[in-house]
């Protein structure tokens, strides 16, 4: 029986909470531009190379300067994690759990501050940033609770024989985290490894390395032993191959793009002469997610859910809706309401409480998204062409919401992950065709349907090929334990984060059998 409860969101409808968060944003603003070193074996390591983290909302504002690890630093971090692994693995699970709960407490105590850092560095609006911290706290508490159950010995005793089934840690885990959930996903992968007795080399995304440095502060506050977690920010192309291919690494936990995830899987599969096992890869690699709108759906609810799913955090979630498949009979009526809702969305800097659509993460993302918009504008009907005010365009990396209608299901726009505020509207003759269109991608992460028909909802349960299916609600915002998150096909490798079986990926199962019918006794040892 689980005792876990999700951390509730901050209620920003309360003036007191708004004032407190604005104060946190102002206090963090006063700390911008600081320097953050690597932390290897609990020692500060400063490097010549530096990652300069800037604000998506204000591209000339420096959030912080973070040391950038070299290949030698990566090797040192792995060596430190390996040296610490035996002692950490031998600690009783209940004591490891105490560390996880302490990490959760420190994050809860610093909740508004951490959320403010996320607003400034990752460009998340208030509620999104607050939810990021709440999810990180949830991961700590949930995995702490489940690790206790996992490590309870399971015995079968027969006459003359005792059998025990147990788990042991894998060893050194490399965590490679994304920028779009800069605290939650980084925390989830790291504490899952810690809860199961593994040590960690933590490599955050370049764009959110300051938030990761703040998480490292929390880990240090929790009193982890030297080398149990090593903080290794750096350029992925420079240190990634070392982290993935090193013979002393047992598990790579990754969240990010499909191309990088598949390359990690390829490199990790190679076994060299110094390696004593096959590496495990846990990879969450994105989606091309669809919501079907049935011809009997409540259009007001459907429009609201689609807009939230497509344009929340500017579409920069792997769970975001990028395709809405609408049945022919209500297509134009739905599109008309959708256009009205999307054109009302407020585009602006993440720190502004009224912002609904914030900037995208950086210039590279902006250029890539604009290429898709240019392609879509040539090929399809442009139902919404949002414009970025000149002052915002000069200030940060802004892309206004775009909606394309009558999109060909086989087109690049409908098949490739865009990771921005771009939505395709596709027409289907009936539910059969809608399901066929929805399933016809290389991904299988999230999806949903709006329908009043129990039979059609049942069909969606059976036939939609997604890891997380949502009926008559938005398809983003999965909560730990309630909606364990993860997909299949080219959306991911491994089981679901925030689920009861996630920890099994970080352990090795062991079966021990003892013959208890002894013949004679061992002689007493002689002492001098």
Catalytic residue numbers, as ranges: 284, 318
HSE-CB of 159 using CA atoms within 13 angstroms: 0
Residues 6 or more apart in contact with residue 15 via CB below 8 angstroms: none
Closest C-alpha to 167, from 191, 147, 144, 151: 151
Question: Using alpha carbons only, what angle is made at residue 447 by residues 445 and 451, rounded to the nearest 5 degrees?
Answer: 165
- Please, are residues 206 and 231 in contact by the beta-carbon 8 Å criterion? no
How many residues in the chain?
528
Terminal alpha carbon distance of the chain: 53
25 CB-contact burial (10 Å; exposed 0-12 / middle 13-18 / buried 19+): buried
Site of tokens 């040192």: 76
Cβ neighbours of 300 (radius 10 Å): 10
Residue 57 — left, alpha, or beta (φ > 0 → left; ψ -120 to 50 → alpha)?
alpha
Q: Which helix (H) or strand (E) holds 237?
A: helix 236-245
Between 454-463 and 431-439, two packed helices, what is the crossing angle to 10 degrees? 30
Report residue 129 as tokens.
Answer: 């940033």
- Please, are residues 252 and 280 in contact by the beta-carbon 8 Å criterion? yes
Question: Using alpha carbons only, what angle is made at residue 193 by residues 188 and 79, rounded to the nearest 5 degrees?
Answer: 125
């Amino acid at each position: 029986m689980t005792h876990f409860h999700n951390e509730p969101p901050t209620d920003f409808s309360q003036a007191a909470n708004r004032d407190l968060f604005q104060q946190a944003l102002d206090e963090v603003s006063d700390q911008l531009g600081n320097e953050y070193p690597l932390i290897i074996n609990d020692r500060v390591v400063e490097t010549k190379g530096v990652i300069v983290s800037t604000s998506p909302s204000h591209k000339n504002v420096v959030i912080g300067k973070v040391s950038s690890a070299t290949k030698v630093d990566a090797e040192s971090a792995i060596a430190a994690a390996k040296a610490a692994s035996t002692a950490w693995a031998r600690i009783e699970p209940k004591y490891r759990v105490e560390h996880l709960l302490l990490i959760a407490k420190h994050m809860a105590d610093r909740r508004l501050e951490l959320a403010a850092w996320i607003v400034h560095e990752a460009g998340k609006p208030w509620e999104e940033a607050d939810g990021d911290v709440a999810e990180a706290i949830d991961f700590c508490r949930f995995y702490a609770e489940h690790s206790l159950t996992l490590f309870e010995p399971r015995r079968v005793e027969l006459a003359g024989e005792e059998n025990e089934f147990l788990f042991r840690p894998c060893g050194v885990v490399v965590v490679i985290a994304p920028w779009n959930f800069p605290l939650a996903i980084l925390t989830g992968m790291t504490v899952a490894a810690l809860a199961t007795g593994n040590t960690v080399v933590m490599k955050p995304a370049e764009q959110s390395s300051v938030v990761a440095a703040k998480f490292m502060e929390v880990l240090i506050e929790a009193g982890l032993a030297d080398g149990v977690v090593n903080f290794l920010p750096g350029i992925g192309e420079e240190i990634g191959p070392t982290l993935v291919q090193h013979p002393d690494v047992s598990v790579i936990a990754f969240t990010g793009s499909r191309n990088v995830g598949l390359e990690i899987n390829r490199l990790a599969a190679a076994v060299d002469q110094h390696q004593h096992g096959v590496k495990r890869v846990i990879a969450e690699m994105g989606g091309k997610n669809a919501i079907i709108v049935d011809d009997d759906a409540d259009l007001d609810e459907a429009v609201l859910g689609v807009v939230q799913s497509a344009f929340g955090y500017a579409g920069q979630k792997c769970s975001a809706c990028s395709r809405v498949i609408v049945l022919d009979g209500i297509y134009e009526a739905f599109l008309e309401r959708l256009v009205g809702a999307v054109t009302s969305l407020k585009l602006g800097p993440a720190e502004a409480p009224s912002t609904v659509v914030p900037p995208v993460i950086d210039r590279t993302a902006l250029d890539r998204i604009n290429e898709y918009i240019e392609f879509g504008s040539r090929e399809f009907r442009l139902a919404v062409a949002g414009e970025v005010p000149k002052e915002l365009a000069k200030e940060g990396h802004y892309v206004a919401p775009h909606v394309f209608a009558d999109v060909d299901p086989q087109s690049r726009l409908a098949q490739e992950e865009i990771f921005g505020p771009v939505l395709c509207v596709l027409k289907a003759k009936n539910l059969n065709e809608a399901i066929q269109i929805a399933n016809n991608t290389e991904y299988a992460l999230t999806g949903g349907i709006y329908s009043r028909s129990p039979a059609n909802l049942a069909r969606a349960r059976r036939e939609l090929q997604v890891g997380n299916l949502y009926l008559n609600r938005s398809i983003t915002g999965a909560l730990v334990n309630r909606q364990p998150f993860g997909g299949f096909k080219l959306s991911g490798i491994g089981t679901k984060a925030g689920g009861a079986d996630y920890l099994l990926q970080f352990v090795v199962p062991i079966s021990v059998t003892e013959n208890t019918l002894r013949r004679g006794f061992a002689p007493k040892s002689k002492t001098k």
